[in-house]
């Protein structure tokens, strides 16, 4: 249930869906690749320093890229835009998936756990993509702005935790 109960993961998945709806649905494949690589890294027990902070910042990075793509969209290299965006999405999702790999059970429930994580991730990313494709473009921009801000707020929260909590 963590992809659905962890705010940072829900927001990341919806942010990826937002980017895919605006830039290219190919970003969903980049996200899947990042998820597989990140999960594999996390399953080995390896982690990045300040991984929660990086996970929060990756939300803002994908949202910011979505907003920037609006200005770059009409350039002569949509493939380059998709590939750069894909790399950012894959890296961000890999960080989130690494955190999942660290918390995944290593018992008889492992396959069920990963199946649930994959299903909920597909529903959130795919659902966000499909919904925003049907809504006016202004909704996509608003969503990207909201996710940019949420990523920043989550990053501030992670910094507070890294610095020993909020002082009264």
The model's pTM: 0.88
Residue 168 pLDDT = 44
Start-to-end CA distance of the chain, whole Å, equals 33
Share of the chain above pLDDT 70, in %: 91
Residue 94 pLDDT = 96
127 within domain boundaries: yes
60 within domain boundaries: yes
DSSP secondary structure letters along 31-55: HHHHHHHHHHHHHTT---TTHHHHH
Residue 76 pLDDT = 63
Among 28-32, 76-80, 131-135, name the one with the lowest average pLDDT. Answer: 76-80
83 within domain boundaries: yes
- Domain containing 125: what range? 2-161
Q: Rg of the Cα trace of the chain?
A: 16
Please count the structural domains in the chain: 1
51 within domain boundaries: yes
167 within domain boundaries: no
Residue 72 pLDDT = 64
């Amino acid at each position: 249930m963590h992809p659905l109960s962890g705010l940072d993961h829900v927001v990341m998945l919806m942010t990826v869906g937002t980017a895919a709806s605006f830039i290219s649905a190919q970003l969903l494949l980049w996200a899947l690749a990042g998820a597989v690589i990140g999960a594999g890294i996390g399953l080995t027990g390896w982690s990045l320093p300040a991984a929660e902070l990086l996970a929060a910042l990756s939300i803002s990075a994908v949202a910011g890229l979505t907003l920037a793509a609006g200005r770059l969209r009409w350039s002569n290299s949509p493939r380059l835009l998709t590939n750069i965006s894909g790399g950012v999405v894959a890296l961000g999702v890999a960080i989130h998936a690494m955190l999942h790999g660290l918390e995944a059970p290593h018992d008889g429930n492992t396959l069920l756990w990963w199946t649930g994580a994959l299903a909920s991730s597909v529903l959130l990313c795919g659902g966000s993509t499909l919904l925003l494709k049907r809504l006016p473009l202004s909704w996509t921009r608003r969503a990207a702005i909201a996710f940019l801000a949420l990523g920043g707020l989550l990053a501030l929260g992670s910094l507070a935790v890294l610095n020993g909590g909020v002082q009264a």
